[in-house]
Structure 1
Amino acid sequence: MANELGVRLSFMSILLPTSLTADASNLKQKTLKIGQVGRTLAIFRVNQVCIYNDDDQNVGNQEKETTMIETILRYMDTPQYLRKQLFPRMNELRYAGLLPPLRTPHHPLKNEKMEKGDYREATVLEASDEGSFLNIGLEEKGFTSEELEPGARLTIRLGESKNEDKRVVTPADRGEVNEYWGFKTTHAEALAEGLSKSKADYFIGTSRRGQSFYEAVEGIKSNDPKSVAVAFGGPYQGLFEICERQNVDPDELFDVIINTIPDQGVETVRTEEALTTTLALLNALTGSR
C-alpha cells in the first residue's frame, strides 16, 4: 500500500564515492565522518551502500580508502556480540570506539530478541556433518543440523532451547524479517558498475546542477519505483564531473538528477550533509518500508 504521496519502496541502495573522506585529514576525522554516514543510512532504512571508485586525485590510494570506508561501515552494522569474532585488530578500526551505536532491531540489548521465533544475527563457531554451533549473542549457543561455513555471518530464527547450553536455530533470509535489518556494504570500480550492481528499477543522481526535487516529485511518483539507487558525488567534485572523468553520460545513467538543496547558502555541501538532506526528502515521499 502506497502512502499519501504515492510511492512505496521495498529496497533502497546508496552509492557514495571513495573520495567521501578525502576532506578529512586523519583517520580519527575520517572515522567520525563515516560514523555520521552510518547513522544516516540506518535512520532512513537504507538496505545497501556501495562505495564506488570515483578516480579523485585527492585520494592517494583508492583501494586503501575504499577498504577503510567499507570496514568501518561493516563494523557499525555488525551487532556488538559478533564484532570480536568478525573483526580482528586492524588499523582501520583504531578509533572504532568513537562510532555512534545504531540501535537498529538487529542490534538487540541483552533482554531483547530472546524468544522463540525472534530473529538475530549469528556467526558460525564450528561445523561438522552433524550440524553447526553458532554464536547468537545469548548464553546458549545456537545449533542447526545444517553444516555451515565456520566464521560465516548469517541471520537466524530462534527455536526451542534444548538445554542451558544449546538453542535450536534455523538459518533465515533477511527478507523474512519484518523489521529494518541494517545495510549491506559493497564496492564497485566505477559509478556505472555500482549502479548496475544495485539492480534497482529507478536511478537517481544528486547534484546542485540537477532539477529541483519538488519539480521532480511527479516524475518519480509516475514511475512508481519499487527499488531505487541514489548516487552522490564527492567533497571536491560532483556527479557531473565524475561522469565526465569516467566517460559516461549522466543522462544515460540516471532516470532523474535532483538538487535537494536549491539556493544553498554555502559554497559547497558536504557529501554526508547532502546524504542526510536527500534521504529525509525521499523518506517523506516514500513513507515507511
Structure 2
Amino acid sequence: MASEQKKKFNEKHELRRRIFKATKAEKTNWRKVKADLSKSKEYKLLKEKEQLEKDSEQKNDVVDKSRPYSLSIAVPGQFLNNAQSSELRAYMVGQVARAATLFCVEEIVIYDESCRMTQEAIDSYWNGSWRGNTETSDSNYESCFHLAKILEYLECPQYLRKALFPIHKALRYAGLLNPLDAQHHLKSDDRSFFFREGIVLKKPVKQGRGPICDIGLEKEFQIESEIPLPPGTRVTVEIKNMDEDAKRYRGSLSSAAKVRQKTGQYWGYSVRIVTSLQETIDRSKYLTVAGVSPRGIPIGQFDVCVLNKPKILLVFGGISGVDAAVESEELAEWKRAEDAFDVLLATTASNGSRSERVEENVLAVLAQVQCRLEQLSM
C-alpha cells in the first residue's frame, strides 16, 4: 500500500515538474500543457480498451444478444390474385412486410400454391430477366414474383433503392406504401450505430485493400481486408474507423446474423422463392414447422423448447387455406395438413368475419406467437 502511494506521489510530482518546466522555458499556458498530457493518457487508455475488446473477440467471448428463437413465415404468392387492382395488390404486400418487420421475422418464404413453378423461372427472377409483363391470374405463378419484388424493395434502405432497384412494373405503386422504418433503415446523419447496409461501388482500389462502398453517409466506406465483390453487391458492414479527417470510413464486412448477435437489433428479413409447399417444409433447416389453420390448437397451447435457439417456420395458406395447399401437392408423401406439419395453430380465438384474409392472419398470428414464445423464454 505504501509503495502504491509513493508511486502516485512521484507521478503527480513529475507532472507538476513538466508543467513548470514547459511554462518557464516555452512561455506556454500551463492549462494547455496539462490538457495535452491528459489527452495522451486518455489515448493510451483507449488503445488498451480496444486491444482488450479485440482479444475478447478472438477468444469468442462475445455475449450473444439475439433472441432465443428465430421466426420465419411462408406465404403463397397466389393470395394476391384476390386483389381487384394493382394498387390493392401492392397494399396487401405492404401489410405483410409491416407485420414481418414489427415482429422481427428473419425470413419470408414464398411458395407456389399451384405447383406450376419451375427452377428455371426462379432463376430468371434472380438474374433480373423477369420483367412482370404477364398479368397475374390463377393460371400462372406471376403473383409470387410480384410479392417477392415488393417485399425486397420495402426491406431495402431508402438510400440504396435507386441503385439496387431499376424501374420495374411490379414496383409501380410501391412508393405509396407505408415505410417499414426498420432498425437498419438509418438516416444519412445517424452515426450512433456502427453497422450499416451498403452497396459495392465500381471504383479502383489499391492492392491489399477491400472494395469501396456507399453506406448512405457523406463519406464513402472501404472494407479493410481484400475481398473480391462485384460492383452492385449489397453488403452489411461494421464501421471501425469514423475519423472525420480521413478520406473514407473504414471497417469490416459483416452480416445480419452478426448484427443481431452483437447488438440484439433486428436487421430486416430475407426473401426466398421455392417451387412448392413441399420444398418449403425443410426439416433440416427448421426445428418446428407449424401450419396455420382454423382447425388448429390455440396458440396459447403452442409448446416449443427455446433452450437451443430454435428456428420456427409458420406456414400460411392462400385464399382456400393451408389445407387446400397441402392437398394440391400431388407428389408429396402426406395428404393431410396434420401429416405435413408438426402442429396446426388456430388463427384467432373468435372470428367476427366469415372470411380470413392472409395479410390479416399474418399480423394476428405473429402477434400471438411472439407473446407465447416470450412466455416460454422467461
Structure 2 match to 1:123 = 199
Output the CA distance in 2 between the equivalents of 1:197 and 1:184: 19
**d(CA) in 2 for partners of 1:80 and 1:281?**
30
Q: Percent identity?
A: 29
Deviation at 1:286, TM superposition (A): 1.5
Contact 1:127 1:149 in 2 (8 A): no
Structure 2 CA distance, aligned partners of 1:203 and 1:56? 20
Counterparts of 2:306 and 2:251, CA distance in 1: 43
Structure with greater proportional helix content? 2
Which residue of structure 1 lines up, in the alignment, with residue 310 of structure 2? 226
Call closer, same or farther: CA 1:272–1:262 in 2, change over 3 Å.
same
State how 1:164-179 maps to structure 2 within 5 Å.
Answer: 165-177=247-259, 178=263, 179=265
Query: Where does residue 181 of structure 2 map in the other structure?
Result: 103
Three-state SS of the structure 1 residue aligned to 2:82 is coil
Task: Say whether the 8 Å CA contact 2:72–2:105 is kept in structure 1.
Answer: yes
Measured on the aligned residues, the alpha-carbon RMSD in Å equals: 2.4
Change (3 A) 1:84 1:120: same
Instruction: Specify which of 215, 228, 242 is matched with residue 136 of structure 1.
Output: 215
Distance 2:81 2:185 in 1: 30
The change in CA–CA distance for 1:259 and 1:223 in structure 2 (over 3 A counts) is farther
Residue 28 of structure 1, aligned match among 76, 87, 105: 87
Give the stretch that moved more between structures: 43-52 or 94-103: 94-103
Matches within 5 A, 1:189-228: 189-196=275-282, 199-214=285-300, 216-217=301-302, 219-220=303-304, 226-228=310-312
Q: Could you state the TM-score of these two structures normalised by the residue count of structure 1?
A: 0.88
Q: Residue 220 and residue 148 in structure 1: after superposition, are their counterparts in 2 closer, same or farther (change >3 A)? A: same
TM-score, structure 2 as length reference: 0.68
Shift of 1:240: 0.9
- Work out the CA distance in 2 between the residues paired with 1:225 and 1:255: 17
Deviation at 1:61, TM superposition (A): 2.2
| Map of 1:281 onto structure 2 | 368
Structure possessing the higher radius of gyration over alpha carbons: 2
Of 150, 159, 169, 2:231 maps to 150
Give the Cα–Cα distance (whole angstroms) in 2 for the partners of residues 176 and 165 of structure 1: 27
- Alpha-carbon contact 1:139-1:165 (below 8 Å) kept: no
Do the aligned residues in 2 keep the contact of 1:202 with 1:225 (CA within 8 Å)?
no
CA distance in 2, matches of 1:65, 1:97: 19
Pairing of 1:77-88 with structure 2 (within 5 A)? 77-88=155-166
Structure 2: distance between partners of 1:43 and 1:149: 33
How many residues get paired?
276
Aligned-residue offset at 1:164 = 5.7
SS in structure 1 of the partner of residue 281 of structure 2: helix
Quote the residue 1:182 is aligned against: 268
- CA, structure 1 residues 60+107, in 2 after alignment: closer, same or farther (shift >3 Å)? same
Question: Does the 8 Å CA contact 2:290/2:313 hold for their aligned counterparts?
Answer: yes
Higher share in strand? 1
Q: For CA contacts below 8 A with separation 6 or more, give which structure has more relative contact order.
A: 1
